[in-house]
Structure 1
Amino acid sequence: MITLISSDNESFEVSETVASLSTTISNMIKDGCAEGGIPLPNVTGSVLAKVLEYCNKHAAAATASEPSKADDDDDVAETPQNDADGFLTSAVVTPGNEDLRKFDEEFFIDVDIPMLLQIVSATN
């Protein structure tokens, strides 16, 4: 588990899979800089909670879409990819993943504009 610490000193325990959706945080983990938690000085606890809600859902979907080793089909699940800022792109939102598409739509519909701007800022 990785601890992320918001600017208002809220701590969030997340799996390494979820934390690694951010290239910056993933690099910190690889460099051994995650001991004692990773401070995120520009992100409040409420915003980080919302970002982690999104990341948890996408990490779970990415894990579920990985092909099993026993699967001999030629179907290959789409691998999640990070955008230039290091966050998971919609690559895991495939035609076969309607639940994730609906989650994404509802997630952003339910977010007010100020929170949305803070989420966008947090991704930078």
Structure 2
Amino acid sequence: MSKKTLVIGASLKPQRYSNIAINRLVNNKQEVVAYGLREGNVAGIEIDTKLLPYQDIHTITLYLNPQRQKAFYDYIISLNPERVIFNPGTENSELQDILKQNKIFFEKACTLVLLGINQY
């Protein structure tokens, strides 16, 4: 079953984990949308540079450090995802508390590992 995923912090640079994640999500037949600072295309997915009101987001996977995440708190809550994945280096207790208050599940995990072990 496809879990529509929003990648926040998407990069056009192939060596970046967000870029690798987009490729792996697409290869695993997941529906993907992406937000980043620069427009472009990764694995056929257009990177949006505006925060769009996406519908039916199942998972948000974060590739932003905690300081940069602050500007996205309200946006993340507004999308009402079923879960948020804090990839290594993105762990943020403040956002985790906000997610708890809004009854949004989160996990500290690596999207690439979850995909690799079929636990996505």
For normalisation by structure 1, the TM-score amounts to: 0.28
For normalisation by structure 2, the TM-score amounts to: 0.29
Structure having greater relative contact order (Cα 8 Å, sep ≥ 6)? 1
Structure (1 or 2) with the greater helix fraction = 1
